[in-house]
Structures are given as C-alpha cells and as structure tokens.
Amino acid sequence: MGNFAHNKYLYSILLTGLVEKLVHPERDIRNIQDDMGDGVRGYSNRSTDQAYVTPFLKRHGLTHCAASGMESGRNLERPIPHRLDLRTKPRGKGNREAYLGLVHAVQIDGVEPFPIMALLMALDLATKMAQTFTYESNDDLTIEEIHGAVLRHHREAMGNGKSRLPVLALQAVYQCLTEEMARYTDAKLRTPPNRHTGNDKKGWIGDVQVDNLDGTPFEAVEVKSGKQITGDMLRKLPDVFRGQSVDRYYILSNEETYIEPGQEGEIKTLVAQIKHETGCQVIVNGLNRSLWYYLRLVNDPSEFLTHYTDLVAHDPDVQPQHQQLWSEILVTLSNMQETLED
C-alpha cells in the first residue's frame, strides 16, 4: 500500500476491478475495456471508476485521481488483458506484480474481492493518519520572514504537486485581501482554487479567481510555475474571457526572469491591445515579487500564514512530502523566535 500511495491511478484501477467483480461475478476483470477486440468482451474500467469509485473515494477522503485511474494511467488502458505476463512498468517497486497478482487471485483463484477492497482502504486510511503533521503557530513573524519561509517551501519542494504550492500561496493572500479591501466589497473569492486535474471548469478563467456576486469573473490570477511568460499566453486571453467583462487578470511566473527574453515589447503591446478590446487590465509580473507586495497590504500577515498552512494541510493535490517540509520550515521559524527571545 505504501507504493500505491505513489501510484494512485493503479490503486484506483484495482479497486474498480474489485468492485466490478463484486457486482458482476461472471465478468473477467482482466478485460478492462468493453470491446477488447477479436470478439472478447470486458467492462469499462474507466467508466465504472468515473461514475462510482472515484466519487466514493473523494467523499471519504481516500486516495483518488482527478476523474479515474485509467485517465491518469493511460498506459494500462490498452486493449490487452491484464494477465500476469502483461508488459507494463507502473511507478513503485513491486506495484506491477502486486496489482496483477491480486487481479489473478480474484479472477483465476476465486479469492473474494470484498476483503481485499476493505483491507486496501483500511491501509489507505491508516497511512493518511500516520501522515498527519504538526504545524507550529507563529504569530510574531515579520513580513520578510513569512515571505522567505513560503519561497523556501516552493524552492525546496520536489516531485508531483510542487507547482500547486504557489497557487495556494496566492489563494491564501487573496483570502486576506478579499476580506479587508474595499475593492472586493461586492465580490467573492472562489474556494478552493482551480484544479488543473479536475473536470469541472465551469466559470474558471484562472487558477485563483474572484467573482462578482452574480458569479461572473471579476479578477483572476494565472500562475506559471517553472515557466516564463510569453506573448502567446496573453494572445489567448480574449478567448479565455469568452466575452465576459473581467476587471483585472494577473499572469504571474515564479521564474527569476519572469518574462521570456525578447518578449518584453510584444507583451507590452498585447497588454494595451487587450485593454482596448476587452476593457481588462492585464498585469504581468513575477509571482515572488507580487507575493511580497501583497503581504505588505495585508493588515495581519500572520493571517496569511494561517491560511497557507491550512491549504497545505488539506488541499488534495499537495503531497505528504510537501506537508512534511512545510511543517519542518515552521518548526525552524519557531526555534529561531525562541532563540531571539532568549
């Protein structure tokens, strides 16, 4: 199960197969598509997962993919039976053997699927409970210390989900600003921030978004993590707005040189053109510098720290290693405070 946590699509595919066998014992769950070719019938693992399994896992806080395991692990969706000799290399040492062995045990050896399902989910819950981290409270930090801690988190985070962290930082600061600034009196921040892996994009035009009270977009932020800003990113904005009246749109990159060299003139021209055509003021800037400016506007920067910590602890796209790193950073800050007080 420890390996499955690093390969959640395989976990989802397996659970879906077990559910299918439980409900339809006559079906061969090694055949993961309706039509496997050569007259071989199977079942749609993707459809069953999307309709039943992933929604169940989401409701109960269990490990899950955005929509289905097959959508994330498309290398396993080929019309080839999932027998023991299936040639595939999913992430995680031993995951291939474990997955195919369990499918074989249920389909060929007659092992009951329900106990396996219950054990997998119990292990999933136990793993999540063991990964609960303690986040130190720090109420007396300076803006510089808070800013430095968040940037360190973004810089040192590794692996999948790293690009989610800058989005959460912007969401956290907007949670403060929308409560404090008169500009947002007749607007509402969308929560949680937009998920790139999700299917429900209704009304979204950015990663972080503030809507008018009628639900139309008022202001949005698009985060470019690890990417420099180019003219092409601005050129598509009128289509993104879909004729809606958007007041401001920020494109923020966390790259040190946030505009791709040679694109400065074109971007300046496009900003003016978009303002003329749509009425929207587009702001292109560095994310790290923008976060610094935002923190200077917030009445109590420790509120931002509280919001960011809560998002890191509970956002479904944040990995345990990122949560652990943030916990360690907060402990370091707390120890520094104690040293200064001594």
Instruction: pLDDT band for 203, please (50, 70, 90 cuts).
Output: confident
Q: What is the mean pLDDT of the chain?
A: 88
CA 184 to CA 219: how far, in whole Å?
A: 10
What is the full DSSP assignment across 58-118? HHTT----SS-HHHH-GGG-SSS---TT-----SSTTHHHHHHHHHHHHHTS---HHHHHH
Q: Encode pLDDT of 233-287 as tens digits.
A: 999 999 999 999 999 999 999 999 999 999 999 999 999 999 999 999 999 999 9
Is residue 339's pLDDT more than 60?
A: no
Q: Give me the pLDDT at residue 35, please.
A: 82
Q: Are 29 and 43 in contact (CB under 8 A)?
A: yes
Q: How many CA atoms lie within 13 A of 306 on its CB side?
A: 10
Q: Are 37 and 98 in contact (CB under 8 A)?
A: no
- Mean pLDDT calculated for residue range 292-310: 94
This model's pTM is above 0.85: no
Tell me how far CA of residue 219 lies from CA of 74, 122, 278, in angstroms: 36, 42, 13
Q: Give me the pLDDT at residue 342, please.
A: 44
Q: Which residues of 155-166 are buried (b: 16+ CB within 10 A; e: fewer)?
A: eebeeebbbbbb
Percent of the chain with pLDDT over 70: 90
CA 42 to CA 79: how far, in whole Å?
A: 10
Q: Give me the pLDDT at residue 137, please.
A: 67
